[in-house]
Amino acid sequence: MHPQPTQPTLRRAGFTLIELIGVMAVIAILSAALLPGAIDMIRVQRAVNDRAELPKIAEALKRGMLREQVFPIYENAASVSTDGNDAYWWNLAARHGGGSANEVRYPLGIRRGSEVTRKLYFAKASWSGKSFSEFTGDGLDWLNDFQDPTELRLLLISTTNPDLSLPDELDNDDKFNAFWDDWAVGSDGDPASGDPASDDWADYGLSSTEWEGRATELNVQRIDLRDWLCTVVIENRRAIEEDSGADLSSALSSALGFWDRGSVSVSSTNLQDAAFIIQARDTTEDLNQNNLLDSGEDANGNGVLDSGEDLNGNGVLDSGEDLNGNTFLDHPAQIYSYVEAVIQTQRGRRLIPVEDPSGIPLIAKPATVIIRGRRASTAQSITANLTLTDLAPIALINSDDGVVPLYDFVNDFGLSENRYFLKTQELRLGEPWTFAEVGIFTITEPFSTLRFDGLQWHY
């Protein structure tokens, strides 16, 4: 007999409902324990990434300000769209390599339109939205202290945590300076500085209720513009108004006429490289040939025309007295120099007054032209003051608002003055006779000199 084959036993597959419920319970317990830590890890990583982005945005913002010579509008209200005014700070940074406007404005992981935005603060809030030229003006009095221009600072502050809020404005200088000077994160996750007694969330304009223990989730990027400040030493000498070729005879009318032959000369004072000439001719004649004793023709001042021809000395041509038949009275055989005109052939540079040993500038003497010589063997000197121009014009160029004239120098004699501008600003230079533009000076160095020497600009 053959045994009957037995049926194979079927094994059960899968989990029972009870087993599934048990697994889900374990997962729920583990999730409850691990999820907060995972969220914190994500936030920490976002904060780290955000911290790496802020310097790039700050550089793009600085680049944009420098190239466009403007301070942006630092609007921080979350309700303002990034599609708004091109002058908003995030749009300026976006135009100069910071990424899109949304990438600049919103922290990593935060959606466009969120209440959470990066925020920009100015040390000098009134500069928001203004061009460099609007507040530097004539280079004077726009900084409290040019050696420590604390106005030239900005703060870019960011958090990636949507539960933490930032103020739209730092409502006083103390809060700005607290971030700039003191912000650091202590081991307890709260702000720490060199003076623990002053550590207080309110010092930074933040709510301690929100931020307690969360300081690590706030990133602060300092934007220091003080290296943009440039010193320009401006020396501006006054110039001689009369141009080369000017006839100075009207100012020197008493110098015209007869001088002892070869004795007359011309010189100047308080000028460098100036040149003048005397137009004169040698003569023995009655200058205007009217046979009368006219003013300026009595060479030796004796009241008559001296000659062997005026026999009775009455100063007129009487019958029988014209010995050579030329119909006018001749001077004696002595030859005189007759000055007809004084001409300025080269303008020259106006000399700067010298300081006395105490350092106080001396009063500048006038620029003069002097005619010296002898008349009837008597020494004479005739002086005329030369007319000086105004200072050479300088104007701060502003592409939006034209120019701001800079004529308000402290003195009229060209002693140096220091002015302070921002890098890339431009000064338009003119000459003082017609005020025509003769050059543009672009400020690119921390220290530079701009000098008008009485004839031309040097820079």
pLDDT category of residue 228 using cuts at 50, 70 and 90: very high
Whether the per-residue pLDDT at 163 is higher than 60: the answer is yes
Q: Is the distance from CB of 423 to CB of 65 less than 8 angstroms?
A: no
Question: Which residues on neighbouring strands pair with residue 420, listed in sequence order?
Answer: 231
pLDDT for position 374 = 92
Query: Can you point out the beta strands (E) in 68-217?
Result: 119-122, 153-159
Q: How confident is the prediction for the chain on average, in pLDDT?
A: 81
Flag the least confident range among 162-176, 301-315, 384-398.
301-315
Nearest 5°: CA angle at 418, between 133 and 427?
A: 35
pLDDT category of residue 443 using cuts at 50, 70 and 90: very high
Average pLDDT over residues 385-399: 83
Taking alpha carbons only, the member of 44, 175, 71, 57 closest to residue 117 is: 57
Residue 105, both tokens: 């404005």
pLDDT for position 408 = 41
pLDDT for position 411 = 46
Residue 27, amino acid: I
Whether the per-residue pLDDT at 35 is higher than 80: the answer is no
Residue 274 buriedness (CB in 10 A; 0-12 / 13-18 / 19+):
buried
Flag the least confident range among 35-39, 99-103, 263-267.
35-39
Q: Is the distance from CB of 396 to CB of 425 less than 8 angstroms?
A: yes
Q: Please name the residues in contact with 4: beta carbons below 8 A apart, sequence gap of 6 or more.
A: none
Taking alpha carbons only, the member of 246, 422, 231 closest to residue 346 is: 246
Average pLDDT over residues 448-454: 91
Residue 444, both tokens: 């690119």
pLDDT for position 355 = 55
Taking alpha carbons only, the member of 261, 297, 263 closest to residue 282 is: 261
Whether the per-residue pLDDT at 305 is higher than 60: the answer is no
pLDDT for position 119 = 96
pLDDT for position 321 = 59
Q: Which residues of 202-226 are buried (b: 16+ CB within 10 A; e: fewer)?
A: ebbbbeeeebeebbebbbbbebebe
Is residue 132 within a helix (H) or strand (E), and if so which, with residue range?
A: helix 132-136
Whether the per-residue pLDDT at 253 is higher than 80: the answer is yes
pLDDT for position 48 = 77
Average pLDDT over residues 47-71: 93
pTM for this entry? 0.73
pLDDT tens-place string over residues 260-270:
889 999 999 98
Average pLDDT over residues 158-168: 91
Q: What torsion, rounded to 10 degrees, do the Cα atoms 199, 200, 204, 208 define?
A: 140
pLDDT tens-place string over residues 195-212:
554 558 888 999 989 998
pLDDT category of residue 409 using cuts at 50, 70 and 90: very low
Residue 14, both tokens: 């899968």
Residue 139: left (phi > 0), alpha (psi -120 to 50), or beta?
A: left
pLDDT tens-place string over residues 347-366:
888 887 655 556 555 566 78
pLDDT for position 197 = 46
Size of the chain in residues: 459
Laid out side by side, the sheet with 265-269 consists of 265-269, 368-375, 378-385
Higher pLDDT, 35 or 340: 340
Helix (DSSP H) and strand (DSSP E) numbers for the chain = 6, 20
pLDDT for position 65 = 96
pLDDT for position 96 = 97
Higher pLDDT, 65 or 302: 65
pLDDT category of residue 146 using cuts at 50, 70 and 90: confident
Q: Please name the residues in contact with 163: beta carbons below 8 A apart, sequence gap of 6 or more.
A: 210
Whether the per-residue pLDDT at 11 is higher than 80: the answer is no
Q: How many angstroms separate the CA atoms of 414 and 181, rounded?
A: 42
Residue 362, both tokens: 């001396």
pLDDT for position 259 = 85
